[in-house]
Structure 1
Amino acid sequence: MPKAKVTFEDVGVTVIVPAGTRLIEVSEKVGAGITYGCREGECCTCLTRVVSGGEHLAAPSVLEDQVLKDNMAPRNHRLACQAQVLGGEIVVKPA
């Protein structure tokens, strides 16, 4: 199974996770500062800046894309509850 290396800049922690893992799941395990509300991709509470490696995340779903637009999220931001890692190296930071 492919693995990904995810770094949380806010806490300086890097972990290796299986592909398909959502960023919010990893954040919870390492104690990073990504907060969340609904976990359904609707509230935008878990907005997270992708510092690097965005190409190693699954493309946003139609719902996530709409929520990001509705909330005028800056470029390179994703919803941690929706963003799934595919592999490679990813660096994120709470928005």
Structure 2
Amino acid sequence: MAKGKLTFEDINVSVNVPAGTRVIEISEKVGAGIIYGCREGDCGSCLMKVDEGMEFVSEPSALEDKVLKENLAGRGMRLACQAQILGEGEIKVRPV
């Protein structure tokens, strides 16, 4: 199975993750600063910046696009709960 290298720049931790993994899943496991309030109804709180490797991250869904626009997210911004690693490549992310 293809794996990507995901680096959380806020804590300087890199992990190899299988394709299809959502960034938020790994963020929780390694203790990165990407927070989320989905369980409290605060959609958009897991906003993150992809500093490198956007080509190795899934395209935003229509719902994610809507939330990004509502939050006035800039270029390279994604929701960690929606962004999936596509495969081999290096991805660098940080909380917003």
Give the TM-score normalised by structure 1: 0.94
Runs of 4+ off more than 2 Å? none
Q: What is the aligned residue count? A: 93
In the TM superposition, what is the alpha-carbon distance from 1:74 to its structure 2 partner?
1.0
In the TM superposition, what is the alpha-carbon distance from 1:71 to its structure 2 partner?
1.1
Matched AA of 1:24: I
Structure 1 residue runs without a partner (length 5+)? none
Structure 2 residue runs without a partner (length 5+)? none
Matched AA of 2:75: R
Identity %: 65
Alpha-carbon RMSD: 1.1
Deviations 1:34-91 (A, max 9, x none): 000116xx71000000000011001000000111011110110000000000121100
Deviations 1:1-55 (A, max 9, x none): 110100000000000000000000010111100000116xx71000000000011
- Determine the C-alpha separation between the residues in 1 that align with 2:77 and 2:44: 11
Once the two structures are superposed, the pairs formed by residues 1-95 of structure 1 within 5 Å of their partners are 1-38=1-38, 43-87=43-87, 88-95=89-96
- Determine the C-alpha separation between the residues in 2 that align with 1:59 and 1:36: 20
- Determine the C-alpha separation between the residues in 2 that align with 1:26 and 1:16: 10
Give the TM-score normalised by structure 2: 0.93
